[in-house]
Every structure is written in C-alpha cells, then in structure tokens.
A and B are shown apart, each in its own frame.
Chain A
Amino acid sequence: SYELTQPPSVSVSPGQTASIPCSGDKLVDKYPCWYQQKPGQSPVLVIYQGRKRPSGIPERFSGSHSGDTATLTISGTQAMDEADYYCQAWDDITDWVFGGGTKLTVL
C-alpha cells in the first residue's frame, strides 16, 4: 500500500522559516495536501495540489513538490502556528493516504 513519510517533529524559532517534508513514491503525481491540527480541534486544510492555498489561509503558508517529496513551508513562523501537520495524498487504490504527522514546536 502507498505510504507517506514525515519527520515526527520539527522545531523553529519565532520569526524564522519552518520546513516540513513529506516523502512518497511519485508524490508529485498524487496531489499532495497539508493539514494543520491544533489540540482538540479538527484538521484544517492549509495547502492543496501541492502549492495552492485555500482562502483564509495566511500567505506565510506555502507548499512545493517535486518528484517524491512535498514540502510545507511556514515563513515568519508565529507561536500560533505550533500544531501537528499532516500531509495527504491521493492514491488510485487507497484513495486518501495520510502521513504520520509532524509536531511543529515554536520555541
């Protein structure tokens, strides 16, 4: 079955740039998405189709993807960005696939 791999944790200082990678076979062809989830809340879509940002999502969130890797980048990271981030892809066989999640710590 298709799998996505994320680092368990990433740390960043306030105001700096955070990058969270997600890897999977030919991920660029599978419309990678990113979700932000804060404790006790539902996931929120922050990036879709690898680099598009839904309305209402701050411009500091951006995405890129190439080959087997998709990356979520948060520029000028703020304390409110501390959350779990999940990548998700579309697979012909298993439909939705989620990565294991990355805990972003802003310190």
Chain B
Amino acid sequence: QVLLQESGPGLVRPSETLSLTCTVSGYSISSGYYWGWIRQPPGKGLEWIGSVYHSGNTYYSPSLRSRVTISVDTSKNQFSLKVRSATAADTAVYYCARGNVGAGGDYWGQGTLVTVSS
C-alpha cells in the first residue's frame, strides 16, 4: 500500500519561506512515477504547484515558478517543497501526490493546512 504524508509548520510569517516535506512509504520514489505538490486555498479549487520526476527533472506552475523549488531525497524516500517570500495568498491546504503521465494522481496525502500570517 502506497502512503504519502505531508509534514511541516502550520504557520508561516509573511515574507518567510514555506517548507513542506512529503514522506512516501510502500513505494520507492527512485523506481518511477512523478511526485507532485498541489494546493487548495480555503473554499477554492485545486492548484498544481509543481512536480519532480523520478529522474530528478522538475516542472513548475508558470505562476509560481519564480518562488518555488521542489527537490527529492531518495535516501529518505521523501520529496520537499519550498515557497519563498510567502504571502497570505499562499494560505492553503497543501497536498502531495503520486502520478504518471496520462494516468492521473493515484495516491494523495491527507493534506496539511499552512497559514501565512503574522
């Protein structure tokens, strides 16, 4: 059974960096698939942030590319998200997910709420 679990601070100060980690169990990240971050502001829809492929290649949403970095640590079977210069608009539930081209996101984490506020 593949499980994904997000972790990180629930409160981030404006202008600081939002950092989250997704720990994967039941499947080795280095074996394949891609690993993505998606967020959902309160009461709003889903927004793709970016993805990292098992090869290490990364893809980012054009609207967030200048502030986002996604990296992978295969030794810990984790991948991480950093959003720099956070603002209130970055307040959202953040999900990590596993997917494949054309196959959708088949496993998702439970999501973690991050609030950007002073």
By a beta-carbon cutoff of 8 Å, the part of chain A in contact with chain B is 1, 31, 33, 35, 37, 42-45, 47-49, 54, 84, 86, 88, 90, 93-101
Q: How many residues of B contact A (CB 8 A)?
A: 24
Residues in B whose Cβ lies below 8 Å from that of A1: 62-63
Please report the number of residue pairs spanning A and B whose Cβ atoms sit closer than 8 angstroms: 70
CB distance from B52 to the nearest CB of A (A): 11
Distance of A51 Cα from B40 Cα, bound (Å): 26
Evaluate whether A90 and B101 lie within 8 angstroms (CB atoms) in the complex, with A95-B59, A96-B36 already known: yes
Main secondary structure of the interface of A (DSSP, over half): strand
The answer to whether A48 and B104 have CB atoms under 8 Å apart is: yes
Residues in B whose Cβ lies below 8 Å from that of A97: 48
CB distance from A11 to the nearest CB of B (A): 19
